[in-house]
Amino acid sequence: MLIFTAGTAQAQQVTLKASILSPIVKTGSFFAEYAFSPQMSAQLGYFQTGMKVKETSFDGFGITPEVRYFFFGEAPRGLYGAGYLRYQDFTLTREDTQATGSLTSFGGGALLGYQMILGKHFVLDLFAGPGFNAATVSGGGGEENFDLGTFGGFSPRGGITVGIAF
C-alpha cells in the first residue's frame, strides 16, 4: 500500500501567496504560481498601493509576470533564478502643492530566490534582485514636480511571501 500511495502522490504545482512586507508601505501584493515543468514555473503578481514617498502620494496598481528556473529539486520548491516584467499605473498627488498627475511605468529585472514548502501546504518564498523601470509622468507639471522614488530608474526588488501550495 505504501508503494501505491507514493507512486500516485502528486507534488504541488500551484502556489498562492501574499507579501508580508508590503503592508508596511500601504500596499497589498498577491501572487499565483504554476509549475509547468519539473524545473520551471510561471508566476503572476498583482499589487495595489496607496503609499507616499516624501511629498508624493501614489495610488494605483502593478502587474508582474515572472518566469522561474529551479536549479535543484522540483518546481515550485528550492533555489531559483527568475526574470520578470512589470507594468505600473499610478495617480500622483503632491501633498504640499496639491498638483496631480499620472505615472505609467514599464520595466523588468532578475531575481534570485528560495522557496520552501513546509509540511504539506505552507509556502515561504524569499527573493531579491535588481530591476529597472522606465517611467512616464503626465500632468501636474511633469516629472520634476514629483518624487518618483524607486518607480523610475534602477531599483532593488525583494520580498518575503507566505501562502499555500496545492
Structural domain span for residue 81 = 11-165
Per-residue pLDDT of 87-96, as tens digits, reads: 999 999 988 8
Is the pTM higher than 0.75? yes
Dihedrals phi, psi of 30, to nearest 5 degrees: -135, 145
Q: Is residue 1 part of a domain?
A: no
Average pLDDT, integer, range 77-86: 98
Burial annotation 62-92 (CB, 10 A radius, 16+ → b, else e): bebebebebeeeebbbbebebebebebebeb
Q: How far apart are CA 90 and CA 34, in angstroms?
A: 28
5 pLDDT higher than 50: no
Domain with 151 in it: what CATH number?
A: 2.40.160.20
Q: What pLDDT, on the 0 to 100 scale, is given for residue 1?
A: 31
Dihedrals phi, psi of 99, to nearest 5 degrees: -70, 140
Q: Is residue 6 part of a domain?
A: no
Q: Is residue 4 part of a domain?
A: no
